[in-house]
Amino acid sequence: MKAQGPLRGIRVLEFTGMGPAPFCAMLLSDMGAEVLRVDRKGGMDCDTFCVESRGRRSVALDLKKPEGCEAALRLISRADVLLEGFRPGVMERLGLGPEIALAVNPALIYGRMTGWGQSGPLAQSAGHDINYIALAGALHAIGTAERPAIPLNLVGDFGGGALYLAMGVLAALLHVRAGGGGQVVDCAMVDGVASLLGMIYGHLARAHTSPLSEDSAVNSGTWQDKRASNVIDGGAHFYNTYECADGRQIAIASIEPAFYAELIRLLELPASLFDEQMDRDSWPALQAHLTELFLSRTRQDWCELLEGTDVCFAPVLSLEEAPMHPHNLFRETFIERDGFIQPAPAPRFSETPGAIQGPPPRCGADNREALGDWGFSDVEIAVLETCQAL
């Protein structure tokens, strides 16, 4: 298919990796960028269900051979963006580090994705999502009073990692389009997660300088540095999840006074008990009251009463249920592609809508076609094959 989306015409060279770097490449591809993935020769194939690898082509190079490294540099010279997610120093040892890459392509955006960052005491240490969000303070703040909860790998890998890398790459591209030079984007998940916590750190600072105020909902004057004791971390009765009679769950988020009043009205709650919304001392008892109430009816019963109101309500849907919800169906938030349901490209553009550009590629499946499109002659491709660099 012909590429479509606001990034059509942008060439991205992705060096194969795991987690957030491929997800970032998927985001750019969904917005129309041409993404070419450099796989390790003899590497494993992605199957059809590797959603984060959709929408690009693959060439397989042996980067340990001089001919393979030279071919990679040729590709770098024609790219707008390079994405890599190795430990610091790996690309340099391959002869493909930023200094060499920017020498052959001064306008290149060199995107580097790591957990700890390119420098620092932990830069060379192994890690995974929960390690990075733990160091930034996020993991401590999420969960029950007894223990932290693991929020999949949404907060570190994809929120603090891939999305920040995509934003950094696009900002650097704007700089180039304005006449500036290329540059390195050092995206560390610890940095991104810390940035995501900006509002929370602001509330925590307020706790040390301001007395408790009952005039504001979210900004109630303090943030207690312990789980399940604040408005938006499960401490409040009006911002929580509750089990229903059928064992399913619902989510209530009636923070603002008007929405809280609507919750009281629709649930016919006793005003004498629920009128002091921000009295933290009363939250456990009120949460127990709502727990008992919501257990009295099924999730569907509560949906019929509360969904679409200003209570700020939603059913807690499973991964299989979510694509079938009427709202998601109407907006085509999920689409069927390659025989299964997967998330549609996001966000949406009125004039240049994005699209899934294709399925995940097999390792090296596009060697000849992709290299030809990126400026290699048939003779040059044949030489790479002969010396087994391709």
Question: Is residue 6 assigned to a domain?
Answer: no
119: buried, middle or exposed (CB in 10 Å: 19+, 13-18, 0-12)? exposed
φ, ψ dihedrals at 69, nearest 5°: -65, -40
Residues 175 and 256 in one domain: no
Residues 298 and 348 in one domain: no
Active site residue 157: yes
Catalytic residue, from 39, 129, 157, 233: name it.
157
Question: Is residue 219 assigned to a domain?
Answer: no
pLDDT at res. 216: 46
Q: What is the CATH number of the domain that holds 297?
A: 3.30.1540.10
Question: Is residue 256 assigned to a domain?
Answer: yes
Quote the number of domains for the chain. Answer: 2
Give the separation between CA 145 and CA 36, rounded to whole angstroms: 46
Residues 176 and 100 in one domain: yes
Residue after which a domain boundary falls, among 315, 350, 365: 315
Question: Is residue 44 assigned to a domain?
Answer: yes
pTM, two decimals, is 0.93
Residues 307 and 362 in one domain: no
Q: What is the CATH number of the domain that holds 141?
A: 3.40.50.10540
Pairing state of beta strands 313-315 and 249-253? antiparallel
> Could you list the residue range(s) of the whole structural domain that residue 270 is in?
228-243+249-315
356 residue type, one letter: I
Q: What angle do CA 182, 186, 192 make, to 5 degrees?
A: 130
Question: Is residue 215 assigned to a domain?
Answer: no
Catalytic residue, from 128, 175, 289, 325: name it.
128
Question: Is residue 330 assigned to a domain?
Answer: no
Residues 234 and 135 in one domain: no
Residues 236 and 90 in one domain: no
Pairing state of beta strands 340-343 and 334-337? antiparallel
Which residue in this structure is represented by tokens 């060096």? 15
Query: 317-335 burial, b if ≥16 CB within 10 A, otherwise e?
Result: beeeebbebeebeeeeebe
pLDDT at res. 3: 83
Active site residue 47: no
Question: Is residue 238 assigned to a domain?
Answer: yes
Residues 144 and 189 in one domain: yes
Question: Is residue 205 assigned to a domain?
Answer: no
pLDDT at res. 211: 55
pLDDT at res. 46: 82
Q: Tens of pLDDT along the chain (390 residues)?
A: 578 999 999 999 999 988 899 999 999 999 999 999 999 988 888 888 999 999 999 999 999 999 999 999 999 999 999 999 999 999 999 999 999 999 999 999 999 999 999 999 999 999 999 999 999 999 999 999 999 999 999 999 999 999 999 999 999 999 999 999 999 999 999 999 999 999 999 999 988 776 554 444 444 557 999 999 999 999 999 999 999 999 999 999 999 999 999 999 999 999 899 999 999 999 999 999 999 999 999 999 999 999 999 999 999 999 999 999 999 999 999 999 999 999 999 999 999 999 999 999 999 999 999 999 999 999 999 999 999 999
Other residues' Cβ atoms within 10 Å of the Cβ of residue 71: 25
pLDDT at res. 349: 96
Residues 293 and 373 in one domain: no
Query: 123-132 burial, b if ≥16 CB within 10 A, otherwise e?
Result: eeeebebbbb
Pairing state of beta strands 340-343 and 81-84? unpaired
Contact present, 135 and 209 (Cβ < 8 Å): no
Residues 275 and 368 in one domain: no
Residues 311 and 180 in one domain: no
Residues 22 and 125 in one domain: yes
Residues 16 and 92 in one domain: yes
Give the separation between CA 128 and CA 39, rounded to whole angstroms: 22
pLDDT at res. 226: 92
Distances (CA, A) of 40 to 65, 80, 369: 12, 21, 18
Give the separation between CA 89 and CA 103, rounded to whole angstroms: 18
